[in-house]
Amino acid sequence: MNQFIDWISQPWPWYVAGPLIGLTVPALLILGNKSFGISSSLRHVCAMCIPAKIPFFQYNWRKETWNLVFVVGVLIGGFVATAFMSNPEEIIIATQTQADLAALGITDFSGLMPSDIFSWKNLFTAKGIVFFVLGGFLVGFGTRYAGGCTSGHAIMGISSLQWPSLVATIFFMVGGFLMTQVLLAPIMKLIGV
């Protein structure tokens, strides 16, 4: 039993996690004839709370309640894994990434998220505006404009061999590389991390 607890507390390698995530695709199809996708939940929240007579939000969101239930499950899963199965060791980050990030002013590598950035005390600072407000806005706007995110396009779309999803995934990566490799350093300098 102790061995099992030790094992489950370790970070899981990609060849365990990836196939488990991939199995969500047939699980949703077989359980309820549903295509996997997460960013649509954000749209359902808009349709439910602030439709404002916008045609894009006029549809039967009640039929899509399952999607909202699913993301609530993801939130609970995050809690369960952290509270009961968490790895006591520090996260091991590639040394090159650590060196690059240290040059940008990130010094705390102990948690899953850098505490230098992701804490409430930063909310009303330039850091908070860029990392929470702007970042979140780009994620919400971009995924909806693209018609899906990593789950809907990269996993569900490519798994069902749909080339538009491959195009979307390529541009997710292009945006991510540009932000990380080119824009992040000047932004961090500007907001004074």
Partner 1 sequence: MKEAEKNIQEVVCDSPNSQETGERGLALMKYLILGVLFGIVFVKAEIISWFRIQEMFRLDSFHMYGVIGSAIATGIISIQLIKRFKIKSIAGEEIKIPKKEFRKGQIIGGFIFGLGWAITGACPGPLFAQIGSGFTVVIVTLLSAIAGTWVYGRFSDKLPN
Q: Nearest distance from residue 111's CB to partner 1, in Å?
A: 8
DSSP assignment string, 122-178: GTTSHHHIIIIIIHHHHHHHHHHHHT--IIIIIIIIHHTT-HHHHHHHHHHHHHHHH
Q: Nearest distance from residue 3's CB to partner 1, in Å?
A: 17
Nearer to partner 1, 1 or 18 (CB): 18
Q: Nearest distance from residue 2's CB to partner 1, in Å?
A: 18
d(CA 153, CA 150): 6
| Interacting residues of 20 by C-beta distance below 8 A, sequence separation 6+ | none
Nearer to partner 1, 81 or 105 (CB): 81
Nearer to partner 1, 2 or 110 (CB): 110
Nearer to partner 1, 1 or 161 (CB): 161
d(CA 161, CA 169): 13
Query: Which token pair is 132?
Result: 């929470």
Q: Nearest distance from residue 131's CB to partner 1, in Å?
A: 6
